[in-house]
Amino acid sequence: MVAAPVLEDLREVCQPQAKLASRNGEHWAGRLYMRSVSLRFTRQLVRTPITPDQLTWTMVVCGVAAGAALLIPGLTGAVLAVILMQLFLLFDCVDGEVARWKGQNSAAGIYVDRLGAYLADAALMAGVGFRAAENGFGGWLSVGLVTALGVVLLKASTDLVDVARARRGLGVADDESTRPRSQGVATVRRLAAAFKIHRVTNGIEASLVLLAAAVADTATGGIEPTRWALGALAAITWVMVPAHLLSILSSSRLR
- The total of structural domains in the chain comes to 1
Examine residue 44 and state whether it is found in any structural domain, yes or no.
Answer: yes
pLDDT at 167 over 90: no
Within a domain: residue 239?
yes
Examine residue 87 and state whether it is found in any structural domain, yes or no. yes
Q: Domain holding 192: CATH number?
A: 1.20.120.1760
Residue 168 lies in a domain: yes
% of the chain at pLDDT higher than 70: 85
Residue 186: band (very low, low, confident or very high) from pLDDT cuts 50, 70, 90: low
Within the chain, residue ranges assigned H as helices are: 7-14, 17-21, 28-29, 35-45, 52-69, 74-102, 107-132, 139-167, 183-195, 203-220, 224-249
Q: Is the predicted pLDDT of residue 181 greater than 60, yes or no?
A: no
Which one, of 138, 110, 89, 233, lies nearest residue 81 by Cα?
89
Burial of 67 (0-12, 13-18, 19+ CB in 10 A): buried
- Is 232 within the bounds of a domain? yes
pTM of the model: 0.88
Question: Domain residues for 181?
Answer: 8-249
Q: What is the pLDDT of residue 190?
A: 59
Q: Decide if pLDDT at 155 tops 60.
A: yes
Quick: pLDDT tens for 91-141: 999 999 999 999 888 889 999 999 999 999 999 999 999 999 986 667 899
**Residue 226 within any structural domain of the chain:** yes
Q: Identify whether 2 is part of a domain.
A: no
Q: Is residue 255 part of a domain?
A: no
Is the per-residue pLDDT at 90 higher than 90? yes
| Residue 43 pLDDT exceeds 60 | yes
Per-residue buried b or exposed e for 191-214, using 16+ beta carbons within 10 Å of the residue's own CB: ebeeeeebbbbbbbbbbbbbbebb
